[in-house]
């Protein structure tokens, strides 16, 4: 009989939940009410007192945010929207804000969703506001920017842009955004979007008025690494990823643009490199593509960081410049590199310098108008590969390390000459003991105590710990195994970094864990990584989202809440499901957080492991 007490009726449980607050990532502070406001096309938007050039969504100055292909964007010729801005052109705050307003209102009015998956089963009609009563409309959105933008707003070093904002919606229908920078305004607009849902009668409402939000990020660097070398991603696909990033307040897209397998980046000064190194003539990024990606990103408050990984991970250059590469396609590859095909820059060959001078003189001036950083790679340097290098012919570290030091110094000098800050992978200072200047930012991926060691050595760090934030892991080997010995040895063909990083695992990782306060200050943030051995445009959306959203909340809101407690996945799950539904509505195929039964529970405990069991 006492067993009966344990039975709770699910239906009752579901109907009694209060809707969670929708904002993802969680703002620094938020208070909301339970009054309903509606919003329509005629909302008036002002920016510093002037009416934003905004008449209606069908006006050609405010095209649908769904427009995204290269051709469509080119046709628009609207710099504020992400059209091509020639290098050196200034970005204007009013254009950035105007584009953000267009996209926000388009998302609210035209790309919204009826949140039936977020209410209890069959409870949408009971839960959504009555539409036949006297409706209060949001009539005004007043945007004030208190600071002046400058070049470090659009291409920040660390936290040089102030992304903070406040957002309020009063009961009379006036919404206000205040921010120091235009980027802060963009962040506020994304929070504003998340207040609204579509009614089953197709009107748009929020039930959370009045709203007061004050918000600012915990980490200045909140990124995604996308490997476009191992598989090619069409430009539209990269723009779509930038969209998703903006919705999640992520602000760095790190494009790993070349690797031993392919060189898709057109270099006008050396057209042969991509002509021979891209997977196909059309699978390239032209200078126009690069500028388009960068401009599109700036308009969303995102900085694109390109990486040319070297001296390893560069074999493909041998197809056009065989004299500067050692061990191209060396076999067995297991001896000479981490994955096929092998190939590194020769280490005592002046032609390498000629190549890099030409490359960097071509590329970096096209990067520097949009970005403060350039990543020179430096991971997985293979010493055996230099046995095959006619310019050195040894694997002796006492010979190779000084050469690597010189290589790195010269490379970083090229980066600095272009006004950019170098980024390197952690092995450069930590495993190879290369001395780097204090401006260099170190990207850590190997986990363990790496972040601790790097910060205690005084380095600024970006955390991409593979145990938590490598989104490609845990899906099995990309390699084939012939029957017999390799098959038997490597069965069941797990990859090197399983298990798959679930959103829960990603969410509990704190880049500042186990650091002193001083060390913690050196952690600029983190990046989730999409290495593309088994990922391309067909599956990238559901592999990135909503897991990058989980990392995004850690990086924006902090792993700890305002009280210093770890954020709870039980609290987070309904909000994550919410932004996932919104992403799908806005055109990105994010994977489901979990089955609808769980999202309809809404309070996150419906599908939780019971406490004490």
Interaction residues for its own copies, span 527-556 (CB under 8 A): 532-536, 538-539, 541-542
Could you count the other beta carbons within 10 Å of the beta carbon of residue 528?
28
The token pair that represents 36 in the structure block: 């309903």
Cβ proximity to its own copies: between 125 and 288 the closer is 125
Identify residues 378-407 at the interface with its own copies (CB under 8 A): 387-388
Which of 356, 573, 582, 586 forms a contact with its own copies (CB under 8 A)?
573
Q: Is 329 in the site for its own copies (CB under 8 A)?
A: yes
Q: Which of 194, 257, 593, 602 binds its own copies (CB under 8 A)?
A: 593
Task: State the DSSP code for 92.
Answer: -
Residues contacting 396, CB < 8 A, separation 6+? none
Distance of alpha carbon 603 from alpha carbon 581, whole angstroms: 16
Residue 165 near residue 187 (C-beta atoms within 8 A): yes
Residue 334 binds its own copies, judged by CB under 8 A: yes
Under the criterion CB under 8 A, does residue 492 sit at the interface with its own copies? yes
Cα-trace Rg, the chain = 25
Q: Write out the binding residues for its own copies, residues 57-76 only, by CB under 8 A.
A: none
Nearest-approach distance from CB 395 to its own copies, in angstroms: 10
Least separation in angstroms between CB 365 and its own copies: 28
C-alpha pair distances (Å), 475 with each of 30, 471, 495, 531: 38, 10, 7, 12
Strands 29-47 and 137-145: parallel
Burial of 71 from C-beta contacts in 10 A (0-12 / 13-18 / 19+):
exposed
Residues 87-116 that bind its own copies (CB under 8 A): 116
CB of 332: closest distance to its own copies in angstroms? 4
CA angle 35, 36, 39 (to 5 degrees): 145
Q: Which residues are 525's β-sheet partners?
A: 221, 462
Helix (H) or strand (E) holding 365: helix 350-367
Q: How many binding residues for its own copies (CB under 8 A)? A: 107
CA distance 421 to 569: 36
- Residue 472 Cβ vs its own copies, minimum distance, rounded to whole Å: 11
- Residues 399, 446, 570, 585: which binds its own copies (CB under 8 A)? 570
Cα–Cα distance for residue pair 83/60, rounded to 1 Å: 14
Q: What tokens appear for 390 in the block?
A: 């006619």
Give the position of tokens 């969670």: 20
Can you tell me the distance from the alpha carbon of 389 to that of 504, in angstroms, rounded to the nearest whole number? 46
Element at 360 (helix H, strand E): helix 350-367
Residue 125 CB, nearest distance to its own copies (Å)?
9
Nearer to its own copies, 431 or 536 (CB): 536
CB of 374 to its own copies, least distance (A): 24
For its own copies, what does the binding mask look like between residues 121 and 160, x meaning CB under 8 A?
Answer: xx-x------------------------------------
Q: Is 20 in the site for its own copies (CB under 8 A)?
A: no
| Least distance to its own copies, CB of residue 544, Å | 11
Residue among 72, 142, 275, 380 flagged as catalytic: 380
Q: Measured from the CB atom, is 78 or 228 closer to its own copies?
A: 228
Examine residue 332 and tell whether it contacts its own copies (CB under 8 A): yes
Segment 273 to 302, residues that bind its own copies, using CB under 8 A = 275-276, 278-281, 283
Closest distance of CB 78 from its own copies, Å: 30
Using CB under 8 A as the binding rule, whether residue 15 contacts its own copies is answered as no
Please say which residue, 210 or 329, places its beta carbon nearer to its own copies: 329
The verdict on whether 380 is a catalytic residue reads: yes
The residue range among 54-62, 64-72, 398-406, 479-487 that interacts with its own copies, by the rule CB under 8 A, is 479-487
Select from 57, 338, 505, 513 the one that contacts its own copies (CB under 8 A).
Answer: 505
Cβ(299)–Cβ(81) under 8 Å?
yes
Of 456, 601, 582, 454, give the one whose Cα is nearest residue 518. Answer: 456
Figure out which of the listed residues 487, 514, 516, 521 binds its own copies, where binding follows CB under 8 A. 487
- Whole-angstrom Cα distance, residue 152 to residue 158? 10
The position carrying tokens 């008036």 is 44
Of 3 and 130, nearer to its own copies (C-beta) is: 3
Task: Return the active site residues.
Answer: 380
């Amino acid at each position: 009989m006492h067993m009966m007490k344990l039975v709770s009726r699910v239906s009752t449980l579901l109907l009694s939940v209060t809707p969670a607050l929708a904002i993802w990532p969680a703002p620094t502070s938020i208070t909301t009410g339970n009054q309903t406001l509606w919003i329509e096309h005629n909302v008036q938007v002002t920016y510093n007192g002037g009416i934003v050039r905004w008449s209606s969504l069908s006006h050609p100055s405010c095209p649908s945010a769904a427009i995204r292909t290269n051709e469509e964007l080119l046709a628009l010729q609207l710099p504020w929207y992400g059209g091509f801005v020639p290098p050196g052109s200034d970005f204007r705050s009013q254009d950035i804000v105007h584009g953000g307003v267009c996209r926000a209102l388009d998302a609210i009015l035209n790309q919204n969703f009826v949140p039936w998956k977020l209410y209890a089963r069959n409870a949408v009609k009971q839960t959504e506001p009555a539409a036949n009563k006297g409706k209060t409309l949001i009539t005004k959105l007043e945007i004030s920017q208190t600071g002046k933008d400058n070049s470090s707003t659009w291409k920040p070093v660390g936290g040089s842009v102030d992304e903070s904002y406040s957002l309020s919606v009063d009961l009379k229908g006036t919404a206000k955004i205040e921010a120091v920078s235009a980027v802060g305004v963009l962040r506020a607009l994304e929070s504003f979007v998340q207040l609204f849902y579509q009614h089953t009668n197709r009107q748009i409402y929020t039930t959370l008025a009045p709203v007061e939000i004050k918000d600012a990020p915990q980490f200045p660097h909140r990124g995604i690494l996308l490997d476009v070398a191992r598989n090619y991603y069409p430009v539209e696909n990269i723009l779509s990823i930038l969209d998703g990033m903006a919705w999640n307040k992520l602000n760095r897209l790190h494009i790993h643009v070349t690797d031993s397998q392919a060189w898709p980046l057109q270099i006008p000064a050396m057209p042969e490199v991509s002509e021979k190194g891209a997977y196909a003539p059309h699978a390239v990024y032209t200078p126009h593509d690069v500028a388009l990606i960068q401009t599109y990103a700036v308009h969303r408050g995102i900085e694109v960081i390109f990486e040319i990984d070297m001296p390893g991970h560069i074999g493909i250059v041998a197809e056009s410049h065989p004299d500067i590469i050692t061990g191209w396609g060396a076999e067995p590859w297991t001896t000479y590199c981490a994955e096929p095909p092998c190939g590194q820059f020769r280490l005592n060959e002046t032609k390498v310098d000629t190549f890099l001078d030409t490359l960097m003189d071509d590329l970096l001036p096209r990067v520097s108008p949009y970005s403060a950083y350039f990543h020179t790679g430096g991971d997985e340097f293979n010493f055996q590969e230099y046995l095959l290098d006619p310019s050195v012919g040894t694997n002796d570290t006492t010979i190779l390390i000084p050469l690597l030091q010189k290589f790195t110094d010269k490379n970083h000098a090229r980066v600095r000459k272009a006004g950019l800050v170098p980024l390197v992978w952690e092995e450069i200072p930590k495993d190879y003991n290369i001395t780097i200047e204090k401006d260099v930012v170190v990207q850590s991926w190997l986990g363990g105590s790496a972040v601790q060691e790097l910060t205690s050595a005084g380095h600024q760090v970006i955390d991409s710990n593979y145990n938590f934030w490598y989104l490609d892991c845990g899906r099995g080997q990309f390699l084939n195994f012939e029957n017999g010995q390799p098959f038997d040895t490597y069965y069941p063909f797990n990859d090197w970094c399983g298990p798959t990083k679930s959103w829960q695992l990603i969410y509990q990782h704190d880049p500042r864990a186990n650091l002193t306060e001083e060390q913690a200050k050196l952690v600029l943030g983190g990046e989730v990584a999409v290495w593309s051995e088994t990922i391309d445009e067909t599956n990238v959306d559901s592999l990135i989202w909503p897991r990058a959203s989980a990392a995004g909340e850690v990086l924006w809101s902090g792993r700890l809440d305002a009280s210093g407690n770890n954020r709870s996945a039980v609290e987070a799950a309904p909000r994550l499901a919410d932004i996932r539904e919104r992403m799908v509505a806005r055109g990105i195929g994010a994977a489901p957080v979990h089955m609808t039964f769980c999202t309809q529970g809404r309070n996150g405990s419906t599908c939780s492991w019971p406490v004490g069991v």
